[in-house]
Chain A
Amino acid sequence: MLGTDDGQVRAVLARILEEDRATLAREWAGQGDGDGRELLEALRNALGGTLAVSRIAEQDPAVRDALTSLSERRARAGAEPSATAMAILALKRTMLSAIERHTEDSALRYRAALLVNELLDSAGVLTFEVYSAGRERIIREQHSQVLELSTPVVRLWRHVLAVPLIGTLDSARTQVVMNNLLEAIQANEARVAIIDITGVPTVDTAVAQHLLQTVSAVRLMGAECVVSGIRPSIAQTITQLGIDLSHIVTRGSLADALATAMQLLGDGARPGAVTG
């Protein structure tokens, strides 16, 4: 590959990109939305510069931006990553035929072809990276939206809140639950928070740990916490795992928990946590 990145070949390619830009853009069909032109112009300017060909895709700001926006747009539109890669390959073919039109000199053609390969291969890699990063971000965003949706905090009574937990309780979810609950406690001046785990299929050590953590945080805020909906099988598991929930107020059903909450409010004078 040494020797392909010389001034003469770069100049030829830059000229092709300048003079034939409209044709190239047209031939590079399937883009249709203007980013073709933008990328071609950025490539031409980069070839006129001093950056090594293998680094242009990664390091030239304009080329990088054009490739990024091309790839991100496709990721958002739900296109397969291969479609984005194919677009870059199509550009390669388009440029190769433009070189053929432009020069009869086969040595020059060969060197220009090598250069185009080097330039656009790294462009292909970049678009793929950007594509997967974009998808990952979308997945992360959706994940957090689902988390928000799946953990509502409801107000059961004046000063009494409840969080019905449904599904598996992992650490990310616990963070969201805790956060929503604590914010709601502050906003509603709640004195009792009920965490109902009727809909939680299994409780392992990690889940129990998360529950304990939530209860601690609620108490730090100055409210009391009641955990309800511990089914017999879960109660057994908790005992077998040797997890100590003895300093947590637990009730069988949400109704029992509400009754307990009313009692706690009735005692009135002691919503805060008294430990030790």
Chain B
Amino acid sequence: MNTGLPILRLGDVLLGGLLSDLDDKTALAFTDELTTRIANEGIRGVVIDISRLEIVDSFVARVLMQLAATGRLLGTRMIVAGMRPAVALTLTELGLQLTGVQTALNAEQAMELLGWRRPEEAPHAS
């Protein structure tokens, strides 16, 4: 199934984004596609931008945790970026901490974590 969700490849990093109207099927198809590409294309890092997700329920949380675990097994680092404040509050209230999932404030910071630097930032860094 084609999810219609863009997955961008930047070197050995995949950058994908989830949209606000995420249904279960699309979420599963999206992670399937990512897993296949991680395995086939020698991907080192995956960034999933969730800044447009208005809710993350236990299903989506579980999908993300499983993807991170699968990625680890395949030698890939996965970062979930851009969780909205209200979503973070709700998830902790639900009792979910996305165990095993690395997070970043936005896609840009996630890319930095994976070793990408903005050229103008480099001299100031640290």
Q: Which residues of A contact B (CB under 8 A)?
A: 175, 178-179, 182-183, 185-186, 189-191, 213, 216-223, 265-276
Contacts and interface: CB of A to CB of B under 8 A. Distances in A.
Nearest to A188: B105
Contacts of B101: 275
14 contacts: A182-B89, A186-B84, A191-B105, A219-B103, A220-B98, A221-B88, A267-B126, A268-B112, A269-B113, A269-B115, A271-B104, A271-B113, A272-B79, A275-B98
Interface in B77-126: 79-85, 87-89, 91-93, 97-106, 109-110, 112-113, 115, 125-126
A220 B65 CA distance: 12
A272 B110 contact: yes
Chain A interface, DSSP helix/strand/loop, else mixed: helix
Shortest 9 CB-CB contacts between residues of A and residues of B: A182-B85, A276-B100, A222-B104, A222-B103, A220-B88, A222-B105, A217-B88, A216-B92, A217-B92
A179 B82 CA distance: 16
Contacts of B113: 269-272
B110 to A, nearest CB: 7
A217 B91 contact: yes
B104 A272 contact: yes
B103 A220 contact: yes
A213 to B, nearest CB: 5
Contacts of B85: 179, 182-183, 185-186, 217, 221
B105 A189 contact: yes
A175 B93 CA distance: 10
A182 B93 CA distance: 14
Nearest to B61: A220
Nearest to B125: A268
A216 B97 CA distance: 6
Nearest to B99: A276
B99 A271 contact: no
